Amino acid sequence: MPLSRRQMLSALAAGALLPAAAGAQTAAEPSLPAAATPRPPAGPPPFDIPDIPPIETEDYAEARRRFSTHLVKFGPSPEVSPPLGEVPGGKRVRYPGGPDGSIELIAWVSDYEPSAKLKPAVLFLHGGNATGEGHWQLVRPYAEAGFIVMLPSFRGENGQAGNYSGFYDETSDALAAAAYLEKLPGVDSQRLFLAGHSNGGTLSLLSAMTRHFRAAVPISAGVSAWRYFGRYEKEIRFDAADPRELVMRSSVCFGRSLKCPTLLLRGSEERPFDANDQLLIERVRSAGVSIDHRLLPGNHNGVVPGAVAESIRFFRTHGA
């Protein structure tokens, strides 16, 4: 269902409402919006960046069960943003984050009336390292298209509890949000879809390698933790001397674990899909899972409204 001109303009305007660092910190391995000011180089990363990331034969869900990240720095998200209040067209809820439900986190869920006819749902994972009403405005087209949409925040964001870990424990929060969403009254748990932008695109891939969704659309996602943290070294909170820490944050290493049809989207003005993206696609297809990639007009942030519309079309072809 294409976005109307009103929706497009509203979503583009909402970009100005995104947390400040969401525009400057672009997460996706890492491409920067045209208007953003790149960070100064941080010097050589504290690890070697492999030309070909290793391939893991173990299922990612099983690997996560046996692995715990070792944080050496503790604290909130590197992006400072205000507490989360109410939003138009949605309600603020609290969900139990993390693998053990020990952290209470805030999410927004679109307004809807539960009925006997169950509705499809979309879990959308925001970009940057904090969320705000601008992100919510960008995902409202899902609700207008008939989906129940949930936009979760993650540990350490917007003044909430928990330590930022850089994609790993945040994936646990995303999975906990999915479990919360599928149990809401009126939600068809068999039609639970996943999408995300930038950092949220990275988390979408890792989440879709851990549990089954009906289909997933990561937007401007990063697939290699070496590439990301090699550029954003100040965001490293884990023991970077342990290669396993980087493997467990890199979807390219676990391509065979992807558990649903997936469409990778990126803006035409971003860094194009590169060798790591192609390697991920090859590894996914070798396991017999459907994955495709496509460029849409726009830069890192500007691509989102069109990508949301494209994801709705993709979800429709997969039973939404």
Residue 39 lies in a domain: no
Residue 42 lies in a domain: no
Residue 40 lies in a domain: no
Label residue 9 by pLDDT band (50, 70, 90): very low
Residue 36 lies in a domain: no
Residue 43 lies in a domain: no
Q: Domain tally for the chain? A: 1
Range with the lowest mean pLDDT among 13-27, 90-104, 181-195, 259-273?
Answer: 13-27
Q: Is the pLDDT of residue 307 over 90?
A: yes
Q: What is the CATH number of the domain that holds 292?
A: 3.40.50.1820
Residue 41 lies in a domain: no
Residue 231 lies in a domain: yes
Residue 44 lies in a domain: no
Q: Which long-range contacts (CB under 8 A, 24 or more apart) does 91-99 make?
A: 93/180, 95/152, 95/176, 95/177, 95/180, 96/176, 96/180, 97/152, 97/154, 97/155, 97/162, 97/172, 97/173, 97/176, 97/177, 98/155, 98/162, 98/169, 98/172, 98/173, 98/176, 99/172, 99/175, 99/176
Angle at 275 between CA 274 and CA 277, to 5 degrees: 70
Dump pLDDT digits (tens) for 53-94: 999 999 999 999 999 999 999 999 999 999 999 999 999 999
Q: Is the pLDDT of residue 96 over 70?
A: yes
The whole domain housing 146 covers 5-28+50-316
Q: How far is CA 188 from the centre of its chain?
A: 22
Dump pLDDT digits (tens) for 161-209: 999 999 999 999 999 999 999 999 999 999 999 999 999 999 999 999 9
Which positions ≥6 away from 289 have C-beta within 8 Å? Answer: 258, 259, 260, 261, 262
Q: Which residue did the predictor score with more confidence, 28 or 306?
A: 306
